[in-house]
Each structure stands twice: as C-alpha cells, then as structure tokens.
Structure 1
Amino acid sequence: RPNCIYFCVAAGYANEVGEAFRALVPVSFVWGSYAVSTAYVTADAVDKGKKAAVVHGDNPGRTTRVAVAVVDTFVWQALASVIIPGFTINRVCAASLYLLGRTTKWPLPVRKWTTTAIGLSTIPFIITPIDRSVDFLLDSSLRKVYKETKKEE
C-alpha cells in the first residue's frame, strides 16, 4: 500500500512540478503533467464512487449518493489539486523570472533554474491554504445543493 500512496501523491502534484519546470522544459512536458494530475483526479473520483456504492448497497437514494461522491471528489480534487495550485505556481514562477530579470544580471539559465527552485519550494506552503479555501468554497456553494438533495430523499 505505501507504494500506491507515494504514486498517488506524486500524480496529484505532477502539474505543480510541471509548472515549476515550465521555464526549462518544452510546453508539452507541462501539459503532460496536467494529464497525469487529471488522470489522478478522475481515478480518485471513480474510487470514491465505488466505495459509496458499496456503503449504500441497495438502499434507496444509492444512485444519488454515488453521484454526489463522484462529483464532490472530482470538483474538489480538480480545484485543490490541479487548477488552483497549477495557476498559483505558474504565477509565482512567472513573477520570479520577471523580477530576477529586472533586478539581477544573472544569465538566463541561472534565472530559469532559480525560478524552478522557487516554484518547487512554494508547493509545500500552498497546499493547506488551498485545501481549506476549496473546502470553504464547496461548503458555501455546491455542497449546499447536496444537502438539499438529501432532505428530499
């Protein structure tokens, strides 16, 4: 099981790593990192749906509960693992490269590697605030719809 956990964590952060390396690699590598992260998000949503199907068995409302599990997981993971962190690292790296170009006389390769290091070192600091923000966003919006659905059953 630990190998699966390491793989899943790596897949979940693939696009952030891709964005951090954007200055150094072909753009196809960056888009490939998004494909890996999107596959992870999709697999996690399917897994949560399967688990919800088992938990709810043949109970009434099973289909709705499975759909809610899949949609909630997919939306949460897409926002918290792909869209917001990818955008954040992209902007941090773009700003870093720009500022290094304006404030230093370092050669371009040094500025690019420094930008990548800054992007990679930013990842651990953005995880918790993004996760909490996405929880708040979904609790304030989409999850209210789920609660209404549960009341109707």
Structure 2
Amino acid sequence: MQHATTSAAVTGRTAAATPRRPLPGRQRRRLPPPAAVQPERQQQEGGQVPDAPPAPRPKGVKVELFETKGMDQSAAGAGAAGDNLVGALLSTIDFSEPMSFDGEEKTEYDPLRDGPLRYLGYANELGEAFAAWLFPGGVPLSYAIAIGYVCFDTYDKWGKTEEDARRKLTSRPIPDSVDLERLIKTIGFERGIDTLVWQLIASVATPGYTIHTVVAAANWALAKAEESSQVLAGLYATAAALGLSNEAFLTTFNKSVPTALGLLAIPFIVHPIDAGVHAVLNATLRPAMRRYICQEAGGCEAGLVICDCEAQR
C-alpha cells in the first residue's frame, strides 16, 4: 500500500514537471499573477501577510431636491440650462416679490393680503364666471369691488411704507446732503405705485380677461355642439329623465357649464399670473423706481440696502 502511494506521488510530480501542450481549439488556462498568490505563499511559510489595500467602493450620487444652499446660483442656473431650453429660459427670469427699502422680507400678518379680504380682489373673476346668472350691471359691479380693493390696498401699503421709512431713517445717522423728507416720501410713493400697478394687472385685468375668455370659449363650444341632432337628442333625453322641459333644461345647462368651467379655471391661473406679473415688473418698473430712489432721491448717500451704488455709478 505504501509502495502504491509513493509511485502515485512520483507519477504526479513527473506529470506536473512535464508541460502539456494545449489541445487544438481549447484555450490555455491562465494562472493568477504572482502578486495574487504571494500572500497565500507567505501564509503557508509562516510569514506575515501585509494588509491588502481596501477595495474601491462605488461612489454614490448625492441628489438634492429643492435645495440650493451653498451652491453658486449661476452654477445652479447653468445646470438647469443644461437640462432643457425651458430651464435655461426660466433661470434668467426673476419671479421674486419686491423687498422693502432696507432689504427685509414681509413677516407680519397683513389682513388685506393674508386674510379673507384678499378675495375681494377676485370679485371680478367671479363676476365673469357668473356673468350668465347676474343681473344687468352685475359684471361691472364686480369690477368696481375689485378695483376698490386695489385702491384701498395701495393706500394702505403707501402709508405703512412711508411710516416705516420715517421711523427707521430718522433713527440712524444720515448725511446732511440728503433731503430726508423727500427720500421718505419717495420710498412710500414707490411702494404705492408698485402695489397699484401689480394689483391692477394681476388681480383685475389679466384674471378677468382670462376667465371671460374661458366662459366665451365654453359658450361657443356649446353652441357648436348643440347644432348636432345627436347631441340635442341626448340633452332632451336628460331633460325628460329630470322631469324638466327642453327649453328650461337647455337654458340652465348652457349657463351652468360655462360658469363651472370659469370657476374651475381660477385656481389654475392665480399663481402663474402673479408670478408672471412679478417677472414683468422686475424687468421694467421696479429697476427704474429703484434707480430713482438711489440716484435722484439720495438713497445711495443714505446707505439704503436696496441700492447697489457701485454698480450704478
């Protein structure tokens, strides 16, 4: 038995020493490189195995949604611009609301803007939506209510801004070369004009015209649809099921559908219109008024936060 084992070992060593030629059509099996088997050989010989370098870990992708803190705004805008053409266009438009003359944002509660009284500015939109149901003169009355709200809000913002400017500017050192009273009144006037123009466009003119267009389009579509005998037959069948006459049902139906569409459109147009009007004023009226406050009324000399005097020189 021992002789057989010895013979098998000798035969195995002889076979291992004799290199084999690869058969045709088969690939030669590659041995691992010496560096890969070196730690195993050292371990067998009792040596210490050096620490292998840690395997590289896959890099994670950090995704930040709705967060731009610590980022360069121009870089953020460039990233959005690289996504699509719409992102590039929107990144160049300023939709922000105006700051106060000292750079502070509004934090206090405003009953005209934050409370139920704000809905008075949408009176004309409701008037346009319910135009088919109102008495003659009802739609003009709704516009009168909305414009009255706009004028009252303008007066309120004008007076409060002037009072705030007087309280803050009289408590700080102002150069004698600055006409302080003129500067205070100009600051109040600027906020009043801004409020009046923004409210007339965003709360009265644009929404009223939009709702009027939606209602008119609905009336036109109904008139076209009712020219079809199949549509009329369906409406008459509905009237019969409800126990109403054809004329009464059609009158109610033709008034209700445009009114409902006009009301449904209001929530979808308010914020886009507000942001669009802010963008228009940020590109036209507001820079002009700010330049007048800073250059003509002495804002730069008074050190107002909104005045970038180095850029305006």
Q: Same fold (TM over 0.5)?
A: yes
**2:131 is aligned with 1:22:** yes
Q: 1:130 maps to which residue?
A: 273
Gaps of 5+ in 1: none
- Whichever residue aligns with residue 281 of structure 2, its letter is L
Count of residue pairs brought into register by the alignment: 152
1:89 to 192, 211, 214: 211
* Cα distance between partner residues in 1 of 2:153 and 2:134: 28
1:71 maps to amino acid: I
Match among 249, 254, 260 for residue 111 of structure 1: 254
Which structure has more helix as a fraction of its residues? 1
Q: C-alpha distance in 1, partners of 2:163/2:185?
A: 11
- If you compute each CA radius of gyration, which structure gives the higher value, 1 or 2? 2
Identity %: 35
Q: CA deviation at 1:2?
A: 9.9
Q: Match of 2:264?
A: 121
1:101 corresponding residue in structure 2: 223
Higher relative contact order (CA 8 A, sep 6+): 1
SS at match of 1:23: coil
Q: Is residue 142 of structure 2 the alignment partner of residue 33 of structure 1?
A: yes
- After superposition, the Cα gap between the structure-2 partners of 1:31 and 1:129, relative to the gap in structure 1 and judged at 3 Å, is same
TM-score (normalised: structure 2):
0.46
CA RMSD in angstroms comes to 1.9
1:3, distance to aligned residue in structure 2 (A) = 8.2
2:158 counterpart of 1:52: no
Q: Hey, which bits of structure 1, 4+ residues long, moved more than 2 A?
A: 1-4
Q: How does 1:54-93 map to 2 (within 5 A)?
A: 54-57=163-166, 59=169, 60=180, 61-93=183-215
Cα deviation 1:21-74 (Å, max 9, x = unaligned): 112223411100001000100111111011111111174201111110110001
Q: Which amino acid aligns with 1:150?
A: I
User: Which range moves more in the overlay, 124-133 or 48-57?
Assistant: 48-57
- The 2-side partners of 1:117 and 1:88 are apart by 14
C-alpha displacement of 1:151:
2.3
